[in-house]
Structure 1
Amino acid sequence: MKRFWGLILFISLLSCEKERTNRNPFLQEIGFQFELNLNLPLYSPLTNSGSSIYVGNTQVGTRGAFVTNTGFDVFRVFEASCPNHAPNECSTMNLNGIVATCSCDDFQYSTITGQMLNRPDDGARYYDMLEYRAAYNGGTIVIISN
């Protein structure tokens, strides 16, 4: 009976998989916290569902962040630096509606999901946008780094 339980324990230890991270090697993980007051004209577009803005403040992320109102008081926040390049002179993405485009290579990303929209089928590793946590509290969005 001891052998049976020993075998079960051995098999369960072998079946445990170490957690693998999907860390982006191009973007550093920096600590910050920033608040957006939706009563201010600069951030008032976020009162509408489906709208996105670029927050280019140097206190937010590496190259700023894109904030999107996805509806029902849910906000998604993504790093504005292209996730497939080390930060450089062309890596700050441009926002057009809910699509962010990297000017280095014209890769496009959704500011609702953070996913790359035109992923090449060349077998290379591509990263989606780096997401930051956001909490909404009565007219204020608090953005916190991961």
Structure 2
Amino acid sequence: MKKIWLLIVLICILSACSENERSNNNPYIPNYTVNLSADMNLPTYSNLKFPSNGVIVPNYGAKGVIIFNAGGTYKAYDAACPNQELSSCVAMTINGINSLCSCDKTEYSLYTGLGGKQYPLKEYKVEVVGSIIHVYN
């Protein structure tokens, strides 16, 4: 019995149960190629040096990309409302440690991407080297 549970957990970890896979299966947000770099030494991105701060970088992804300092790690999400048709809402806004959908006023945690609706925020990969944050998929 222990072997069966171990096998189930292993399969879950290596396949569809992973956070990145779950976050990016969204019928409302197309899979646009995202490849951007943000230099935290520039005034536009300097707030990202401090935990619990975020910025929206327009003209990437579906509605822009939200980059968030989650304290020791960085998160990046598409600024499109994840539970609405793409054409029906403007880009999400940052509201403290949450992002706010302009259509249904749902707030999503920028730490987890969750908002209590069917789909979480669409997440992108993040790599930080020195003061440069690289966001990509």
* TM-score tier after normalising by the smaller chain length: 0.7 to 0.9
- Which stretches in structure 1 are left out of the alignment for 5+ residues? 1-15, 121-125
1:109 aligns with 2:108: yes
TM-score, with length taken from structure 1: 0.75
The aligned residue for residue 136 of structure 2 is: 144
Q: Give the one of 20, 40, 46 matched to 1:44.
A: 46
Considering fraction of residues, name the structure with more helix: 2
Whether the 8 Å contact between 1:85 and 1:91 is mirrored in structure 2 is no
Q: Give the one of 33, 46, 57 matched to 1:55.
A: 57
The one-letter amino acid paired with 1:44 is S
Q: CA deviation at 1:32?
A: 2.3
Moved over 6 A (4+): none
Aligned pair count reads: 120
Q: Distance in 1 between matches of 2:93 and 2:71?
A: 22
- Which stretches in structure 2 are left out of the alignment for 5+ residues? 1-10
Q: Which has the larger radius of gyration?
A: 1
| Secondary structure of 1:136's aligned partner | strand
TM-score, with length taken from structure 2: 0.79
The one-letter amino acid paired with 2:69 is N
The aligned residue for residue 119 of structure 2 is: 127
Whether the 8 Å contact between 1:75 and 1:134 is mirrored in structure 2 is yes
Q: CA deviation at 1:65?
A: 1.2
